[in-house]
Amino acid sequence: MFFYISGVSASRYNCEKNGFLGFLGGKMLRLFVPLLVSIPLFLIPRLYLSQPFEDAPARVGDDVIEGFWEYCVAVFPVLPFKLSWLWFLPMLFAVSLFCYPLMAWSQRRKNQ
């Protein structure tokens, strides 16, 4: 159902009127803004609190880091590898960019 709704909504986008930059800006606004908001609000606190229970996904190195701000500084360089349940937002962005030429081509072909 998700793919059907995504396909229907993508077919309503006017590639010739809005162009690639409009498509790119819209996708960044809809996908990266929620990602950038949810990382400090949900992901980092969840990783910090789950350090004693999860070894690889939450910890930075082998030891549990006690201070929250120290943990934030330590986890920042490896944060792209610890997205856990947020992995789908950058992946959806990449897939939509990959599919844009096909979408533009199919709209041009439909209008001929």
| Number of neighbours of residue 96 by Cβ within 10 angstroms | 18
Q: Where are the alpha helices (DSSP H) in 1-112?
A: 2-11, 15-27, 33-38, 44-49, 68-75, 88-111
Confidence of residue 14 (pLDDT cuts 50, 70, 90): confident
DSSP letter for each residue of 59-84? -SSSSPP-SHHHHHHHHGGGGGGG-G
Say what the pTM is. Answer: 0.74
Asked whether residue 102 carries a pLDDT value surpassing 80, the answer given is yes
- Residues 5-27: what's their mean pLDDT? 79
Please calculate the CA angle 88-76-60 and round it to the nearest 5 degrees: 95
Residue 29's identity, in one-letter code, is L
Per cent of the chain over pLDDT 90 is 28
- The whole-number pLDDT of residue 42 equals 93
pLDDT 10s digits, 19-65: 889 888 888 998 899 999 999 999 999 999 988 888 777 888 888 88
As given in the structure block, the two tokens for residue 33 are 């803004």
Residue 79, class by beta-carbon neighbours within 10 Å (0-12 exposed, 13-18 middle, 19+ buried)?
A: middle
